[in-house]
Amino acid sequence: MAASIAIDGLQHHFGRGALRRHVLQDIQLRVAEGEIVLLTGPSGSGKTTLLTLIGGLRHGECGSLRVLDRELIGANDRQLTEARREHGYIFQAHNLHRSLTALQNVRMALEVRGRLSAAAMDQRAAVMLERVGLADHLHKTPDQLSGGQKQRVAVARALVHEPPLVLADEPTAALDSRSGRDVVNLMQQLARERGSTILLVTHDNRILDIADRVITMEDGRLREDGRAA
Amino acid sequence: MRLWTQLQRRTPLGWLQLKHDRGRLLVALAGIAFADVLMFTQLGFQASIYDSNTRFHRALNADIVLLSPKAQNLQNLSTFPRRRLFQAQDVPGVISGDGLYVHTLTWRNPDTRLDATVQMFGFDPDAQLFRLPEVNRQQQQLKLADTVLFDRGARGPYQGTIAALSKGQTLTTESERRTLRIQGLYSLGASFGSDGTLMASDITFLRQFPKRQAGSLSLGLLRLEPSANPDLVAEQLRRHLANDVRVLTREGYIAFEQAYWRRASPVGVIFGMGTVMAFVVGVVIVYQVLSTDVAAHLAEYATFRAMGYRTRFLLVVIFEEALVLASLGFIPGFILPLGIYALASKATFLPIAMTAERALKVFVLTLMMCSASGAVATRRLQAADPAELF
């Protein structure tokens, strides 16, 4: 099976000189297409750093980091930007734009790719918002929506362009358990339909069951826990 | 065409962002309007200096003007020999020529009975030297000795005088121990160089200033055949006449006066500097607003970057905001000066009015002002790094 993510001997440091700190040590990781992988571990273990490297938000130092058949180590800013367009990224906070309606926020994920007409983009964004149960809230701005609704808009934004890879950084951290559960179920359901790969960083034990595989990170190293149910 | 389709599918993010935060938008618009009002005021005053000082020149009924090479401006004309005026009429294309005497006169203000300074013009009442219908209508009356016409636009406490003359009354006043009879009014207007003007016959003028000689003119006014080219005739006159006289076309004479005020008086420079200061104030205000706006949206911008938007997209958003602010701020910035101009021209008797040229100039300056602020504000975008923020 083709690998969505293939990492070999990846290292990463923060700081310079005497303050230089090893945050990622010799990472090996392979995530197959369509797989749902959870990455857990204590704070400061390097989970988010690994996620931002895979997401092309950060320049990698050495080793090999292939994401969707693109080598990201040594890629320039432009290539990283191109790579990001292939991902759906969900943050801990919803990070919706306050001045835009739910529909406009979701549309922004289509606009960056520059293929569809304005009408087609609105259409697709609306369909996506209906899928996440927000059909009645298309034209509300984020401050008119609840926390769970906002995170569902963020999920819609991350998935509307049908990305082959979805990256999520503690998407349930700011939500109560029911909304958190809803959001994760939604992600799982939509990803399954499209065969998208999901890599999800979380502290939240309640959602471990959605994963095909759980990986734990400690002090910059990966430890495989085996497959979940 | 491609750009247009791109614009159509683009979410107008900058505009939506500005619209969302009404308070910030109002502050920015007030700042821009303030800077625009300042610029309009400064540029208006600057233009009025040049306009007010050439109103006399533009009222002259002449195609070519002769004056002394020592002339500096309307207040310091010096004189040249009247013979040159007669010689000029030998040149083909010249129909007629008349002399004009100009001198500064200290007279007693008929209202206050205090000394005041005005400028007196003396000319032959049978010749039409001015394109001022009121002067042309009344100039026959100047044939009476010591009779003058007075400028309605004069600056100073002349309200009573003007009111009385408007009712058709005749006033008398004194100047250098002679009695002058004020017979009527005309409109020319005060300038930076003189508070007001009087029209008199050449006879009256020479009696008022016994040291001035009839053979020494301040200005010579030539009228040409309609088909003649003033530039060519002026060139022929320069060759024909001795070099104790300067030959200028009508436009050349206006430019000559403007050049003097530009060179010799600091007022133009002062108003120019005022304009620059207003521009700088505008840049600072708009920069404050835009950079606060960038700081407030850093997380959102970082998210857009994480979604694959380039830095260029964010730059465009900031410049879009700058252009929207410039355009909206210009509206009150254009309307308010109309009132200020009306008040100022009433208070100073200087001609200050809005011109399309100045409006365009200030609009372009506003665009530059906002773009400059936007350019500085974009430096804050570097902080919008998704890897650092999340």
Question: Any chain B CB within 8 A of the CB of A228?
Answer: no
CA-based nearest distance A198→chain B, Å:
16
- Pairing of the two strands A36-40 and A197-201: parallel
Categorize the per-residue pLDDT at A228 as very low, low, confident or very high, splitting at 50, 70 and 90: very low
Which two three-digit tokens encode residue A87?
């991902």
pLDDT surpasses 70 at B378: yes
Chain B (276-305) residues lying within 8 Å, Cβ to Cβ, of chain A: 297, 299-300, 302-305
Task: Indicate yes or no: CB of A52 within 8 angstroms of CB of B390.
Answer: yes
Average pLDDT on B4-28 reads 85
Q: Any residues with CB less than 8 A from the CB of B323 and at least 6 apart, and which?
A: B367, B370, B371
The whole-angstrom separation of Cα B218 and Cα B238 is 18
Closest residue in chain A to residue B17, using alpha carbons only: A99
Contact A112 B10 (CB under 8 A): no
Residue of A nearest to B386 (CA): A57
pLDDT band of B214, cuts 50, 70, 90: very high
pLDDT band at B5; cut points 50, 70, 90: low
pLDDT band at B1 (very low <50, low <70, confident <90, very high): low
Q: Which of A55, A121, A141 sits opposite B306 (nearest CB)?
A: A55
Q: What is the mean pLDDT of residues A139-151?
A: 92
Contact A165, A119 (CB under 8 A): no
Per-residue pLDDT reduced to its tens digit, B123-176: 999 999 999 999 999 999 999 999 999 999 898 899 999 999 999 899 999 888
Closest partner CB to B11 (pick from A55, A111, A116): A111
Beta carbons of A57 and B306 less than 8 Å apart: yes
Helix (H) or strand (E) holding B277: helix B267-296
Which is higher by pLDDT, B190 or B30?
B30
CA atoms within 13 A on the CB side of A175: 28
ipTM: 0.89
Banded pLDDT at B389 (limits 50, 70, 90) = low
Residue B320 in contact with partner chain A when CB distance is under 8 A: no
Contacts of A117 in chain B (CB under 8 A): 9
Check A111 against B300: CB less than 8 A apart: no
Split at pLDDT 50, 70, 90, the class of A20 is: confident
What average pLDDT does range B267-275 have in this prediction? 85
User: In the prediction, which pLDDT does B390 show?
Assistant: 62
pLDDT digits (tens, 9 = 90+) for A80-128: 999 999 999 998 888 899 999 999 999 999 998 877 888 899 999 999 9
CA A229 to chain B, closest CA, distance in angstroms equals 31
Residues A111, B297: C-beta atoms closer than 8 Å: no
B11 vs A107, A141, A157: nearest CB: A107
Cβ atoms within 10 A of the Cβ of B246, count? Answer: 18
- Model pTM? 0.75
